[in-house]
Amino acid sequence: MAVTGTPLTARAVMQDAPVIPVIVLHEVQHAVPMARALVAGGIRMLEVTLRTPQALACIEAIAREVSEAVVGAGTVRSSNDAAAAARAGARFAVSPGYTTALGSACREAGLPLLPGVATASEIMAAQAEGFDALKFFPALQSGGSAMLKAWQGPFGDVLFCPTGGIQPGNAAEFLALANVACVGGSWLVPGDALAQGDWERITALARAASQLARG
């Protein structure tokens, strides 16, 4: 299942499965079994957020030991974040927003970037620098599915991954939209499942997510 041959792109990351898990890890020993559990459920694009001191070590462990997974770094906000993520073995980057410096740093590091946007002006700024696969964040607070529907006209050439407030109960309304390639969500890796080492539960959540229908 590993992505080989052609270079990875942001669109390929978004189109691999209906959900990209947004993962917060506090213990390095959880990284590999969690990644294997997600892959077993059909989810292999894994966004490990840079929100904890252990995040880079977790990315490195997954990149080294779980060849079926494609691990990326989330909450990438600076050039230093991008460089550190690439050194750790990340294959893609996800950011809450976008700056020219970040876009350049990700290109230099060879990391496909899913930049975060919340307004039409931000979409246009990202498009002007070559980005057309974007993270809509925070999705619910920024207008939800109604905003994405409104963007289908002026931004029909853009694909989105709405993230922020997405849960199993509302994922389908986003995935039904033609301009949504996938959604981002933290529900696939609950904190209590990590703490308990309940990898079967994570696999079950991933399997259900991988079977969500897309428009």
Domain ranges of the chain: 10-210
pLDDT values of the chain reduced to their tens digit, one per residue, 215 residues: 445 446 899 999 999 999 999 999 999 999 999 999 999 999 999 999 999 999 999 999 999 999 999 999 999 999 999 999 999 999 999 999 999 999 999 999 999 999 999 999 999 999 999 999 999 999 999 999 999 999 999 999 999 999 999 999 999 999 999 999 999 999 999 999 999 999 999 999 999 999 999 98
**Which one is catalytic: 27, 47, 60, 122?**
47
Q: How many other C-beta atoms can be found within 10 angstroms of the C-beta atom of residue 193?
A: 19
Q: At what angle do helices 55-65 and 31-40 cross, to 10 degrees?
A: 50
Amino acid at 15: Q
Active site residue 47: yes
The conformation of residue 179, written as its DSSP 8-state character, comes to T
Active site residue 135: yes
The conformation of residue 6, written as its DSSP 8-state character, comes to S
Please state, in angstroms and rounded to a whole number, the distance separating the CA atoms of residues 29 and 91. Answer: 21
**Which one is catalytic: 65, 135, 149, 200?**
135
Burial 136-157 (b: 16+ CB within 10 A, else e): bbbbbebbbbebbeebeeebee
pTM for the model: 0.96
What's the CATH number for 10-210?
3.20.20.70
- Collapsing DSSP to helix, strand or coil, 93 comes out as strand
